Structures are given as structure tokens and as C-alpha cells.
Structure 1
């Protein structure tokens, strides 16, 4: 039996779990409380080498989340977007989440390290240390003057998505709509264009997941770095607003960029349902499509663990082993498996951050 490969993962929301239960963070992180998708013991069991840990600001809402889940399991649906969150409200939350990531490193010396360079990633993988890349999903904690971006960069921020799905002062995201198309509104604001230029200057990777089509095209015109969607799938397979069209995939390919396969059921199933009762076949169909349109060197994994409903056959991070088994049974050879599991993420970060 072939041994599992180490996996670099393009996106997770583990920091949100710590934010919501700060008094329990020792049991959640170090001991593993069996809840959610991630913790240190299960990461080790699942051959999770490291990944992008998102700083994400939840929308204050009185909406019934259970009602939203019910709608997303009974397509068609079109959920309204929350209102914009100003920087002064987002910044304290972002700082708390950044602090949790720094605490995770201090609490697990030798087992977890924040990666600020490709050299850090290679060193961690050689030593068997799990690494975390500080990512920001939605740039609400950065004001229009962009000064805060320098601060977060000093803390370790190396990846940023200008928007989650709700609007920011920088641009517009896609709503949660099925069936739907990513052309849902205007492109980047002038502040958004300045944000992309500064990210390029600081060598912060720009994440195109969640941004709408016009915003995507604006980034493509402005950016001098590879185009990356850390956790997005193929619109041709599942016609949700969150997935990328073949035209967008071609633009990413031509930039030397990257797409990470999102494990969220609503972006995998051809019926758009949220139910986890599914096989891994849709994941393989999306991988096949992404590989065909973006190329073997430009596709990886972007789970969305702790931020989405995932297939029951994945379950949590330990399911990465079962996914690898399914990929091999599907016909992916050792060379392609290494690319998909970790080499392609290292490659795109080298092209973005430098060596």
C-alpha cells in the first residue's frame, strides 16, 4: 500500500473556532476535542503538512443560520449578502485572530510554525513540523489608506483575498446563489486597485476566491503576480457563483497561477445541495476539469475545513488519506499526486513570494 503524501492545504477557518471559544483553545488545538475538522492531533494523523489559516470577520446578523442551511440544501437559492463592515469594527477581531495564530505556534513548539517564506515551508516539511500561513479572507481590517496592511505583513500576513462574499471598500464578492454565474456586479474600486498594487509590492499573494468576475478581471489586468484561487472549483461542473468559468481558469493558467479544490459540498455537487451524503466522485470530476483547463502544475487542494460542510467520506482532516486513496484509484500517478498534494503550492508561492 502506498504511503500517504504530505498535503499543503489552500484554506481553512480554524482560527474562527478559536475566536469563538478562547477559553477552550488548549483543548481545541493541542488535545483535540473531536469537534470541527481540524486540531493538531488530527492534522498529524491526516498528513496535513500545513496551509493557509484565514483571518475572517463574521457578519453580525440576526438571520437564522439553520434556515440558510435549509435553503442551501434545497436549490435553487439566492442568499442576500450581508452589509459592508467598516475597518474600525473589523480590526479588533482581526488582531485577536492573528494573536490566536501566534499563540498556536508558541503553544506547540516544534510541532507548529508560522511560515513567512518558502524556505520556512521547506524547513518545516523536512522536519515534520506543521506550518501555518497567515491569510486574510476579506480585507475589511485594512482601511482605504492601506496603512494597516504594512502592520499585518510585519505580523506574518502573506496571503489576502480583497473580499469574502460581502462587499468591502475594495470590491465585490459573489453571493451564494445556485444556479448562478460569477458575473454579479462591478469590479474593484480605486482603493481596491491600490490594494492589489501594494500586495504585489509586498509580495503578498492575492486570493481570487469569492471575488466576482469583473473584480477578477481587474486583478488580472493590474497584478504582476500569478493569479491564485485558494479554494474554488469548476463552474462547468457545478454552476454556482463561487466557481470559476473555463475562461477564468485559462487566465489563471496563463499567469502561472493556481487553483485549490474546495471541499464544500455546495461547490462540488452538480445539484448544488449542501448535504454531505455524497461520494468522492464529484471531487475527482472537478480535479479532472481543473487539471485539463489549468494544467497539472497549477492545481492543488483548498479544503475550506472548519468553514464548510464537506463530504461524509472526508469527514475531517484525517479524510485527506481517503481522498488520496481515491485519487490514486482514479488513475493519478505518483508524479501527479506529489504535484497536487504539495509541490504545486510550493511552486506558486516561490513565484509569488520569491525563494
Structure 2
């Protein structure tokens, strides 16, 4: 990764360490995944403009430059429309970050590899269909709709658009369902392959966020076993605890390094290569992050299941992000099909 990307990630880490302490973090996570004040704060800091080209008023980093930042988002359990506000304005030329942090919502049936979220069709400029789960649909200022090979922008208040808020099991994300009945897209994005690029970068950045979640759960567990005592000594000195903590560290470090390597490879990758890179990273992250969080809860004992300890929040977030754009099982099938596709060059 470029040095300035690491510098920005370090600045994000420093800011969140100061301004996102435990009490505030838990209050935000307990608030349903959306906080307008936090979104406005991050927009004012310019975090959502990192990968927006300079000609459109952004900082001009490549999409891969978002990866180290998403590692920090995961470490600090930062909730909100981070993916939507950071990635979509960077890739969709017709979209700019909102000054107050109001997010775009990505209406994409492909967020589920199995295709069970629904479908959307575009005829001319009219949309029909539905998607059962859309992140931040009820809070969005614009809907970015992936309809087959096309991407279009839709006003969520337009006739024929229906948005219904949903209960969310993810403490960092608010969900809604979206349906279209003759709704008219106000903008068609003339960019072949944009939908596939959005999905690939979404997978890769979610892998990075999962990598950050694993690192954060590990850090808190190491601190816990170093101060929790039994039989007059810290439990971190017991051999069984050492072995489990070592496994956690190996998984977390391996995932972190895989994310950085994938980001390095993704910058100049062709669309098929980018799909494989992102799918591989997300498949590994979906498995490794959840395992690290499960071990973190085990080493915390019964208190690990309470919301008073951060590891329970890490576990819930990892479980929620695990399946978004494919879990390890789904993506292994996807990767295998891509590798065995006729005409694929080695």
C-alpha cells in the first residue's frame, strides 16, 4: 500500500481512539446502526472523500486506499454507512458525498451470492422488482440500483418507490426493504461493468473490516487475560489460554496480511482478477474473523456474552458481515466456478 494510505489510516486510528471511547461506542452500537451526528462528523472530517477523484473535489486515493481505513473501522467497531459513503461516490461519477453524511443506499440483489434477496429489472428508465434487505435504505438520500448489467440512480421519494425499515441483527447497520413498481430512474450510469466493480470492492472492503474486527477482538482479549486472575495469577499464564490466544493471533495476523496483499494486487487487476481477489479475501475473512471472535468470547467466560464487554459486539458484527456479499461456503463455490469457466486464461 502507498505510504500516504497508511498515514491516513493512522490518522483515523488516532482520531477514533480519542473521540470514540467505550461508552460512546456502545451507545452508538445500541442505537440501531445509524446516527446522523456521527455521519455528519465523519463527512466534515473528509473521510468519505478519500477515494473520490480530485477533479470531483476528493482526495484522489485509489479504491485500494480505503482498505487500511476499513481495517481501522473494524478495530474500533465504528457503525454507520461507511461502505456506502466511502465506496459509491468513489466509483459512481454521477454521485458526490453528501456534506451532512446522508448516505446513498446500494440496492443490489447481488449482495447475496445465492440470489435470494430478490431481483430488479430495468426497462427503459422504469424499474420493477424488490430487494428484501438494503443497508441504510430508510436513511438514504439516493438509491444506487444495480439492475442486471445497468446501474442507475433513483430518488427514494419518487413515485413507485417503497422503502420499509427492517429490524437489524447487525449493531452497526440499519436495514430496509426496497421495492419498485414503475419507478423512474433519474440517472442511468453509462459505465459497463460498474455493478461488478462495486461488488468486488464491496467484498474486499468488507474483508478488511472483518480483519479489523478480528484484530480488535484479539487486542481486548490479550488485555483481559493479562489482568484477570485465578489462583493468584493472571489467566494468560495458563498453558491452555496461551494456546487459544496464539491461535487467535495467528488467524488475525494472517487475515490482516491477506487483506493488505489483496489490496496491493487489486489496484491493477482486470475485472475477472479483481473478482477472484476480492472473493478469496472475503471468503477467508468470513471464516477467520468469526473464529477469532468465538475464541475471544470463550476466553472472557460468561461475561463475554454480555453487551458490557466489547467482544460480544465484535462477535455480532462479524456474524452480520460474514454473509454480506457471500460467506466462506458460498464464495468457495463462486471462486471454483470462476476458475473453471471456459476460456479462462491462467
Which bin holds the TM-score, normalised by the shorter protein? under 0.3
TM-score (norm 1): 0.22
TM-score (norm 2): 0.23
Q: Which protein is richer in helix relative to its size?
A: 2
**Structure exhibiting the larger radius of gyration computed from Cα positions:** 2
Whose RCO is larger (CA < 8 A, sep 6+)?
Answer: 1
